[in-house]
Amino acid sequence: MLFIQPEHCVPLQIIPETGSGAGRLGGTPPIEIAPPSGSTGLAYFATLPLVGNPAAHVSIFVSRLEQLMCMRGRVNPPGGIEVCVHYALPRNPSPTPWDSHLSASRLGVLPEADDWIVDDDGSRRIRPGHKLGGRPHLIRTNARLIEDLQQLARRKYIHVAQFDFPGADDATVSGNWPFADGIFSLFASQPYGADDWAWCWDF
């Protein structure tokens, strides 16, 4: 179970599949796990420890980039992105209809850190990169997105995870990154049912 202090986050790092990490990226989804809709237009992306829920993980399935383009720059309900909450399961050893377009990797969980960082020029900003918890790092802001995020906060949604384009500290990932060079954020509220999720892709 992950409890992250307010104003903090837990950075993630993509590491080789042979490494030891609490999460997974690419490859096959966990055994017996599929998108709730069963749509083969979705592909597995990642599995993460679920912040605030004992022993639970969340697996994320994504649509193709061209289908997501009309949803960028705003908060979206489930659809385009689907999630499945489950207990820890091994990766499926056999191919599935939802196999990722990315090579199989693990996600290393780094020590909890301040969600605010200071740039080389001394300016303070929300931490980009891959992370659990914290707040979403926005590339471009617009009035609709800000209002959508404020509404999520009023509805007691938490920022579950953020994914950025892989950086110099990440292991090499082959395949088409599903969010181009934008930042993907996943949100949820208790009890983490099918309708308790939202996401945004800032690009």
3-state secondary structure of 124: strand
Average pLDDT over residues 123-132: 93
For residue 1, is it within any domain? no
pLDDT reported for residue 198: 96
Residue 96 has pLDDT above 90, yes or no: yes
Query: In this prediction, what percent of the chain has a pLDDT beyond 90?
Result: 71
β-bridge mates for residue 16, sequence order: 105
| 73 in Cβ contact with 203 (< 8 Å) | yes
Q: What is the pLDDT of residues 45-69, one digit of tens each?
A: 999 998 766 679 999 999 999 899 9
| 178 in Cβ contact with 45 (< 8 Å) | yes
For residue 81, is it within any domain? yes
pLDDT reported for residue 7: 86
Q: Buried b vs exposed e over 2-21: b needs ≥16 C-beta within 10 Å? A: bebeeebbbbbbbbeeeeeb
Average pLDDT over residues 87-111: 95
Tokens read off for 56: 């639970």
For residue 97, is it within any domain? yes
State how far the Cα of 192 lies from the Cα of 85, in Å rounded to an integer: 8
What sign has the CA pseudo-torsion 185, 190, 193, 194? negative
State how far the Cα of 148 lies from the Cα of 81, in Å rounded to an integer: 17
For residue 84, is it within any domain? yes
State how far the Cα of 141 lies from the Cα of 103, in Å rounded to an integer: 32
Tokens read off for 119: 């740039």
Alpha helices in the chain (DSSP H): 65-68, 143-154
Confidence of residue 86 (pLDDT cuts 50, 70, 90): very high
**Could you give the number of structural domains in the chain?**
1
For residue 3, is it within any domain? no
State how far the Cα of 50 lies from the Cα of 173, in Å rounded to an integer: 23
Residue 90 has pLDDT above 50, yes or no: yes
Q: How far is CA 137 from CA 25, 30, 45, 140, 202, in A?
A: 21, 28, 20, 9, 9
Average pLDDT over residues 174-194: 93
Average pLDDT over residues 93-105: 97
For residue 104, is it within any domain? yes
Nearest Cα to Cα of residue 41 among 59, 25, 66, 64: 64
For residue 72, is it within any domain? yes
For residue 2, is it within any domain? no
69: domain range? 8-202
Tokens read off for 142: 């617009």
